[in-house]
Each structure stands twice: as structure tokens, then as C-alpha cells.
Amino acid sequence: MTTAHDFDATMIDGVDKRLADYRGKVLLVVNTASQCGFTPQYAGLEELYKAYADRGLVVLGFPCDQFGQQEPGDAEEIKAFCSLTYDVTFPMFAKVDVNGDDAHPLYAWLRKEKSGLPGGKIKWNFTKFLVDADGTVVKRYGSTTKPPSIAGDIEALLAA
């Protein structure tokens, strides 16, 4: 059975990361964008990360430019924006596609596991996937779901 731990991704600084390194952690995987109406969710994601990191939550941010070209910057620009504007400390990855033939393999798998829209496509920026400590996708949340409303689901997984 495939789990999130079977994938690798490139960090925003260009370093390859094995998601198996997060085995035993609860993951909140989010496709992000710096120029989106949902961009203020970075603040809520950071609050969740700070509140639960010591209990085993890791938020993983994946910048994506597939929706209205709302993430046009390069890695350095994205990193600076996240740090300076929202004081993001959770792991950020290199820009990826989340839909289509060039979708990152992690996102192709996440969409298959929790399909959401017909065909499993992601509708917009800040779609969130909650993954348990074993690497299984537990829940998918749309862009309009604000990070604080996910806290109860996170707490339940951390307590499991």
C-alpha cells in the first residue's frame, strides 16, 4: 500500500527531502500561492504549526502557479515573501503542479486518495490534505476551509 512516506520532494532551497523522514508525524499538505485571496491562510497554517509541532504536526507548503498565475515568483521570492509577510517556519517546498500530466507524484497520489472534485482535480490554491502518522490521507479540505477549523481533526490524530 502506498503512503505519503513513499514520496520525495524538493525543498524550496533545492534540497531533496524524503517524506519518509516525517514517519510518525501528522502532516497537513497544502498547495500555496503568494498572490491569492486565500494567501492570508499562511498565518493560520503557521499558528497550527506552532501550536502542534511539539506534539507531532508538520505543515508542508507546496507553492503552485496553476491557478490564475498567483505564484509567479521564483524560489527565493516565495521564501522571502513567506518569511517576511507571514513569518512562516513550517517546511516549504519547490513550486509544483498539482493537476495535470506534470503534477508532482505526491499530489497525483493525494488526489487519488481523496478525490474531491470529479476526476480528483484540485480546484484552487490552499487545498489541504490531512495525513495521519502512518502516511494515510485522512481528509481533504477545500480552499475556503480556514486552518483554525482543522484543529479538532489534527488534535484527534495527534491523540490517536
Contacts of 100 (CB under 8 A, 6+ apart): 66
* Among candidate residues 104, 86, 83, the one with its CA nearest the CA of residue 94: 104
For position 120, what pLDDT does the model report? 83
Contact 48, 147 (CB under 8 A): yes
Q: Is 79 helix (H, G, I), strand (E, B) or coil?
A: helix
Domain 4-159: give its CATH architecture.
3-Layer(aba) Sandwich (3.40)
Q: What is the pLDDT of residue 115?
A: 84
Please identify which of the residues 9, 27, 36, 59 carries the catalytic annotation: 36
Cα dist from 74 to 12, 25, 96, whole Å: 9, 29, 12
Q: Return the domain boundaries, the chain.
A: 4-159
Active site residue 36: yes
| Dist CA 138 CA 146 (whole Å) | 17
Q: What is the pLDDT along the chain (160 residues), one digit of tens a residue?
A: 899 999 999 999 999 999 999 999 999 999 999 999 999 999 999 999 999 999 999 999 999 999 999 999 999 999 999 999 999 999 999 999 999 999 999 999 999 998 876 678 999 999 999 999 999 999 999 999 999 999 999 999 999 8
What does pTM read for this prediction?
0.96
